[in-house]
Amino acid sequence: MDLLVVDRVVKNFGGLRVLNQASLVVKKGTVTALVGPNGSGKTTLFNVIYGLTPADEGEVYFRGKKITRYPPYQIYREGLALAFQLPRLFNQLPIMDNLLLAAPVNSGENPLRALFTRPRWQEEERALARQAREVLELLELTPLALRPAGQLSGGQRKLVEIGRVLMAKPEMILVDEPAAGINPVLARKIYATLKKLQQEKGLTLFVIEHRLEVLFDFADYVYLMDAGRVVLEGTPEEVLAHPDFYTIYAGESRPWRVL
Ligand SMILES: Nc1ncnc2c1ncn2[C@@H]1O[C@H](COP(=O)(O)OP(=O)(O)OP(=O)(O)O)[C@@H](O)[C@H]1O
């Protein structure tokens, strides 16, 4: 099933065409990767999908529903979440609290409603705490549950960022460079965790990555972008075997000049 469909998306910044009819499909239950040289438009495409940057042309569909003009919070509610490249955590607060704060709003947050629906919000809070403990367990972060987020390593912060996103129980997660700036051992661990989310939770993952060596062990399908459009696609083996792959990948990507 096609979970995410990007259909001929165009984005101009001033006179630069950064996305030039970009189209792709992410199938449900896969780990799909987006690779490409610096400046080819990968992050801009994620921002368009997630409603952070409005598309000039083209459409984005999630579960068959057009989400092109939705704001990010509405896309999040539809079950599509974005894990930021630089995790946005509350540094003074423990990991556990960072996860609890990421959960969707519950009935205890409105004082008047809370007064009349006390048993319900107490039960909701208990369920949230259970969910946060499960997420910590899944990400193997339980021993660090009470550690302030500011004391974590870069790799651990990425895992907490993924945990934060999991609290919304999404169907699909966009992950922008989970392994950037992280040593190869931890990078593998992060990918192993993403794979576990796919296999055990049925999550769909769409990942931007530069490190081909980790990526190709975990991805089911790969898109290569250049100058704002998808130029190659296939299984990791197919894409790597393509005679043009390394030339494009190692090149410098220049947006189109439209004005
Ligand atoms: N807000 C903006 N205003 C103007 N130009 C922008 C803006 N955001 C991105 N660009 C330009 O768009 C092009 C694509 O950038 P983008 O970050 O999407 O590429 P990328 O493939 O994610 O690159 P990298 O691999 O380096 O992260 C670049 O030339 C960048 O300078």
Whether residue 106 is predicted with pLDDT greater than 60 in this model: the reply is no
| CATH number, domain 1-79+172-259 | 3.40.50.300
Distance from the alpha carbon of residue 175 to the mean position of ligand 1, in angstroms: 17
| Other Cβ atoms closer than 10 A to 185 | 8
Give the model confidence (pLDDT) of 196-215 as tens digits. 989 988 999 999 988 888 77
| Other Cβ atoms closer than 10 A to 112 | 7
Mean pLDDT of 38-50: 96
Distance from the alpha carbon of residue 16 to the mean position of ligand 1, in angstroms: 10
> Cα 38–79–207 angle (5° rounding)?
25
* Residue 229, both tokens: 């459009």
What does the domain layout of the chain look like in residue ranges? 1-79+172-259, 87-169
Q: What is the pLDDT of residue 33?
A: 95
Same fold, 1-79+172-259 and 87-169: yes
* Residue 51, both tokens: 């409603």
Task: Fill in the amino acid letter for 253.
Answer: S
Whether residue 105 is predicted with pLDDT greater than 80 in this model: the reply is no
pTM of the model: 0.88
Q: Whose CA is nearest to atom 26 of ligand 1?
A: 38
Pseudo-torsion of CA 149, 153, 154, 157, nearest 10°? -30
Whether residue 248 is predicted with pLDDT greater than 60 in this model: the reply is yes
Contact assessment for residue 67 and residue 174, using Cβ atoms and an 8 Å cutoff: no
Share of the chain above pLDDT 90, in %: 61
| CATH number, domain 87-169 | 3.40.50.300
CA distances for 3 relative to 6, 25, 33, 54, angstroms: 10, 7, 15, 20
Name the residue of 9, 11, 16, 18 to mutate for ligand 1: max ligand atoms within 8 A of Cβ. Answer: 18
Name the residue of 10, 40, 44 to mutate for ligand 1: max ligand atoms within 8 A of Cβ. Answer: 44
Mean pLDDT of 83-87: 82
What ipTM is given for this predicted complex?
0.95
Q: What is the pLDDT of residue 98?
A: 93
Whether residue 119 is predicted with pLDDT greater than 70 in this model: the reply is no
Q: How confident is the model at residue 24 (pLDDT cuts 50, 70, 90)?
A: very high
* Residue 208, both tokens: 């931007």
Ligand 1 neighbours (beta carbon < 6 A): 13, 18, 36, 38-44, 255
Crossing angle, helix 154-166 and helix 95-102, to 10 degrees? 30
Q: Whose CA is nearest to atom 4 of ligand 1?
A: 13
Q: Which atom of ligand 1 is nearest to the CA of 13?
A: 4
